Amino acid sequence: MASSKNNVSDISRREMIKTLGLGLGFTALPSFMASGMTEISIDALDHGERIIPVEEKDLIEMQKFIEDCIAANKESDPQKAVKEVLAKGVSNPLAMLKAIGNPTEAGLKVFLRSKELTIFAASWTPQMNLMPHNHLMWANIGIYTGREDNIIWNRTENGLEANDVRCLFAGDVATLATNAIHSVTNPLQKFTGGLHIYGGDFFATERSQWDPETLDEEPSDGEVIRNIFKKANEQMLRMKND
């Protein structure tokens, strides 16, 4: 694998710190942005969206990891190369958890967004479910705390059919192909946190999701995703207050 030092000239260390400093709450995820935008700017968050802060010490811990992912993404098989970096990163889940921070709500911390690569930490509230959805780009997912159960779905003449199940524990890494469709469940009574890496601009891609009961296909956009995570956090608060 090529040295990250020679492969991150398009993102300077100053730009990296700026990008790493933006932790975007999934409950405040903006609508999908124009594909010409290559990073999430403060100006894109001027409509009352809430920012989850990322401490400066955590930026230092994450910077080398993200530089290595950028370098790996330039290899002949970028998904495989990035997976190797991710697997090494979550091989010590406690260290990754310390770098990212304990999840306290359903949300995202966005570390990098470009046309070629998106990296964020996603956290699921206890027993949270996410309906079948696609990404339309390859994805690598590494769990650093908790557990994530995935159902892999196939399109058939009769609609979606469940095809496979993957249970990911802390330290595990899974890959999803460009055309993959999956649903996600956190089966635990605690938070689950995972690093999600996508081979493209995740926020500029309009995708599909499927109704969890009827499995009817419908469009997925920023407003839909905001509501899913908002409801998950509201449900968590209700459970705490009961």
Nearest to 11 by CA among 19, 23, 3: 19
DSSP 64-106: HHHHHHHHHTTSSSHHHHHHHHHHHHHSSHHHHHHHH----SS
* Least confident span in 20-34, 105-119, 132-146, 219-233: 20-34
Whole-number average pLDDT of the chain? 79
The amino acid that residue 132 corresponds to is P
Q: Are 18 and 112 in contact (CB under 8 A)?
A: no
Q: What does the block give as tokens for 144?
A: 């650093």
Averaged over 110-117, what is the pLDDT? Answer: 90
Average pLDDT over residues 89-104: 93
Q: What's the CATH number where 58 sits?
A: 2.60.120.10
pLDDT at residue 25 is higher than 80: no
Reported confidence tier of residue 120, pLDDT bands at 50, 70, 90? very high
CA pair distance 31, 227, nearest whole angstrom = 12
Which pLDDT value is given to residue 5?
Answer: 39
- Assign 52 to helix, strand or coil: coil
Least confident of 5-14, 37-46, 83-92, 143-152: 37-46
- Check residues 158 and 142 and name the one with the higher pLDDT: 142
Query: Global pTM?
Result: 0.77
Q: Name the nearest CA neighbour of 149 among 113, 183, 101, 111.
A: 183
What is the model's pLDDT at position 58?
Answer: 57
Across 100-116, average pLDDT: 90
Indicate left, alpha or beta for 171 from its phi (over 0: left) and psi (-120 to 50: alpha): left
The domain tally of the chain equals 1
SS3 6: helix
Domain of 210, in residue numbers: 4-241
Q: Is pLDDT at 56 greater than 50 in this prediction?
A: yes
Q: For residue 147, give the 3-state DSSP assignment.
A: strand
